[in-house]
Chains A and B, each alone.
Chain A
Amino acid sequence: MIISSYLRGEHRECDELFTIAEKSVIDGDFEKAEKDFLLFSNDTLTHFKKEEEELFPTFEEITGSTEGPTKIMRYEHEQMRGLIGKMAEALEKKDKDAYLSIAESMMILLQQHNMKEEQMLYAMCDRTIPQDKKESIIETMKTIEF
């Protein structure tokens, strides 16, 4: 279960960073919020990149399909990239209510996305990808930067 364990850990880190940024916005400390948000968005976008460039192509190659779960996951990543952009705009305008409103949608979308990945996709990857391949994917993912 090394895929599950590695990527689940990243999800929790993103959650943590999300909540830190949200707290700064609630406190009205926009200077800190900008830094916190940058950490959140960088981590989240890097995580998406790791999946899209390494994990998904391997899974698609093994299952022989690009129309299955990975297609949906890629679509949801796009949706969330859009929301991250909107959150950044709200932050720039120091618009607390707009930020929190977008953050609310972002959080639900992110959590249900994570739930699907953790409960299904990662488990499927751990089952179908050979051990040595899994280890090399993780090593490569660790080197990917946003």
Chain B
Amino acid sequence: MFNQGGLSLDQAPPLSVVLRFFVTASIFGILLGLFLLSQSLNITTLSSYSTQLIIIHTLSLGIMASFMLGALFQMLPVLAGVVIKTPTTKAMIVHTLLSIGVLVQLFAFGISNNSLLFFLAAAYLGVALFYAIYLMLKELIKIKTHSSSSKGILFTLLSLIFTTIFGIYLLLTLGGFTSGVDFTQIKEIHYSFALFGWVSLLIVSVSFQVVEMFYVTPSYPKSISKYLTLTILELLILKTILIIFSFKSTSITAIVSILFLIYATITIDRLTQRKRPVADATVWFWLFGMALFILSMTITFIGSFLPIDSTLQHLSYIAFIGFALSIVFAMVYKIVPFLTWFHLSNQGYMEAPMMHDVIHPKKAKIHFYIHIITIAIWLLTTDITWLGSLLLTISFSWLFYNLTFAIRKYIYTQKHCEKIEW
């Protein structure tokens, strides 16, 4: 941790490393909102299968993977004590390949008979994700004494490997390059690793340190912080084996959902015991996100034993999306103002804008209100509505505005403020 300095001195990755991912994620969010708006108003008419694939992958790759990879580039030094050397170039490579890959993939889903697009999507996304995994894993496996977060991130990246391998197989099958043996089973393995392994495990791993760090809460119980992430990964691998050998895997899904329910309940408990009295929007985002996680996992638990109707299924999906987005927004509204101040301050700008000058908590609160209304509308309506789509567009546009405001502040300070050379 100390050899490279963590978040210290000039070793922290430049602001552009993380912001390029965050800005791109918010653009994908706006594009998703506009796409849904055009679908709801019948301006575009794609099949429901294509629409579904486009929505899922804009959310999971364009938005979530962009946010999460950006955050990882930034947070690995703090949470795991490892630094990726020459991060600017490496982040640029991952970011560019990922963004192109997502766009190509979305076009592949939207246009019929296009083997080449599927092949290109698999190639771009495969290279982007495996390169990012390689950069991070090769540093993480060198750690001798792991914290609960660094260990969790390691398992998260292993889950991303499985997600990517199976994802590539599915893309190549859709493009007609493989015969598609066990397509349905592979699809289930793919999304299990993506949702439970990659997205949820990363949030869990990061929360073990940031919840305590940002809000001064009691620590998570040792049994949870020490064993939860590994147990989930093992269960997902077991689930994969069961699916491959055509055994029933619903009991595994039930156990995973119970574990996440316990985790989410503890997180809410910890947040309500926070010592810091500040009730900023990021706390609300965390609490709202965890409540949605509980809703989603409760339905998943019930669904692993009983048949559930499409309305409940819809609730579970939207709640999960709402959970993931809530936590991402909570993180963004802490990370971006802090880093903007931190970098400018370290560069010697005595008048570096403080966190509230970069993104004022009121702006985050406005986003929170937009976000809860957006999620509420999506939970209450099973179809794609123009209102839900419009709200989603507004939500990401507001985030985009806040991020670009932070960037403008950063550039303005560098251009116009006095700098002290150390």
Contacts and interface: CB of A to CB of B under 8 A. Distances in A.
A80 to B, nearest CB: 11
A115 B9 contact: no
B214 A108 contact: yes
Contact of A26 (B3, B213, B277, B355): B277
Given A72-B9, A116-B6, A105 B342 contact: yes
Given A79-B345, A116-B1, A120-B81, A22 B354 contact: no
Contacts of A107: 214, 216, 276
A69 B2 contact: yes
B338 interface: yes
Interface string B349-363: 000001111000000
B216 to A, nearest CB: 5
B278 interface: yes
B345 A102 contact: no
A97 interface: yes
B278 A22 contact: yes
Interface residues of B, number: 31
A101 B354 contact: yes
B334 A108 contact: yes
Given A75-B8, A101-B355, A120 B277 contact: no
Contacts of A69: 1-2
A25 to B, nearest CB: 9
A39 interface: no
B213 A22 contact: no
Interface in B62-104: 78, 81
Interface residues of A, number: 31
Nearest to A19: B275
A20 to B, nearest CB: 9
B355 A19 contact: no
A115 B209 contact: yes
B174 interface: no
Query: Chain A interface secondary structure, helix, strand, loop or mixed?
Result: helix
B87 to A, nearest CB: 18
Interface in A95-109: 97-98, 100-102, 104-105, 107-109
B356 A97 contact: yes
B1 A119 contact: yes
A22 B213 CA distance: 16
B355 A105 contact: yes
B7 interface: yes
A8 to B, nearest CB: 12
Interface string B325-345: 000000000100110011001
Interface in B178-209: 209
Given A98-B354, A111-B214, A105 B6 contact: no
A119 B334 CA distance: 23
A34 interface: no
Interface string B197-232: 000000000000100111010000000000000000
Contacts of A115: 78, 209, 213
B341 A105 contact: yes
Nearest to B277: A23
Interface in B1-50: 1-3, 5-9
A102 B214 contact: no
B234 to A, nearest CB: 25
B147 interface: yes
Contact of A111 (B5, B9, B81, B213): B213
Contacts of B209: 115
A49 B357 CA distance: 32
Nearest to B209: A115
A112 B276 CA distance: 16
Interface in A16-69: 16, 18-19, 22-23, 26, 68-69
Nearest to B213: A111
Contacts of A16: 275
Given A19-B277, A76-B8, A104 B1 contact: no
A23 B111 CA distance: 57
A121 interface: yes
A88 B374 CA distance: 41
A40 to B, nearest CB: 13
Given A19-B276, A26-B277, A120-B1, A112 B355 contact: no
A16 B218 CA distance: 12
Interface in B356-390: 356-357
B130 to A, nearest CB: 30
B81 A105 contact: no
Contacts of B145: 119, 123
Given A23-B277, A100-B278, A116-B6, A105 B1 contact: no
Given A22-B277, A22-B278, A69-B2, 4 more contacts: A108-B334, A116-B2, A119-B147, A121-B2
22 contacts: A15-B216, A18-B216, A22-B276, A72-B5, A75-B8, A76-B8, A98-B356, A100-B356, A101-B354, A102-B354, A105-B338, A105-B354, A107-B276, A108-B338, A112-B6, A115-B78, A116-B1, A116-B81, A119-B1, A119-B81, A120-B1, A121-B2
